[in-house]
Amino acid sequence: MRESKKNKARIIPLGKIRDKRGNLSVIEDNKLLPFTIARTYWVYDVPGGESRGGHAYRKSEEFIIALSGSFDLYIHNGKEEQIIHLDRCNKGVYIPAGTWRRMQNFATNSIALVICSTPYSPRDYVRDFDLFIQLKESNAL
């Protein structure tokens, strides 16, 4: 089955409002992102060699930006894996629900901003990769 646009991970460019005093980018609810924002968190002070977020969400969609520095975003849709290098604060990656994702290879002082479609819920996590693949193969995720 072909994935619909809503179900496809993709890079979304953000605008840049250029100013000699410094640039500005904005994300407004219900514009640009294919979901309504329920929660925002950020990951920082990541020690060299560490990775974050090796899991999938059952329901939550996300948008991830390298607000500062750079890191690699590893994503797996159950069939294919992809690594996207993020190093600009005026673009991000939309990640649909049911996607395995991990942030890795953080440069020193990087900040990963994560914007989500749902409030925090431990029950929304799938933390076992083999279970993730099983759920994808049986269309349960």
Which CA distances in Å does 130 have to 33, 134, 137? 30, 6, 11
Active-site residue, from 55, 58, 88, 102: 55
Nearest approach, Cβ of 106 to ligand TYD (angstroms)?
11
Instruction: Please provide the distance, in angstroms rounded to a whole number, between the alpha carbons at the two ends of the chain.
Output: 14
Q: Which C-beta is closer to ligand TYD: that of 114 or that of 141?
A: 114
Nearer to ligand TYD, 16 or 84 (CB): 84
State how far the Cα of 9 lies from the Cα of 18, in Å rounded to an integer: 28
The nearer residue to ligand TYD, 41 or 44, going by C-beta atoms, is 41
| Shortest Å, Cβ 127 to ligand TYD | 8
Positions that interact with ligand TYD (CB under 6 A):
39, 41, 43, 52-53, 55, 120
Query: Smallest distance from the beta carbon of 128 to ligand TYD, in angstroms?
Result: 13
Buried-exposed string 1-35: b where 16+ CB fall within 10 A, e elsewhere? eeeeeeeebeeeeeeeeeeeeeeebebeeeeebbb
Told to judge if 76 belongs to the known catalytic residues of this protein, a careful annotator would answer: no
List residues with catalytic annotation. 55
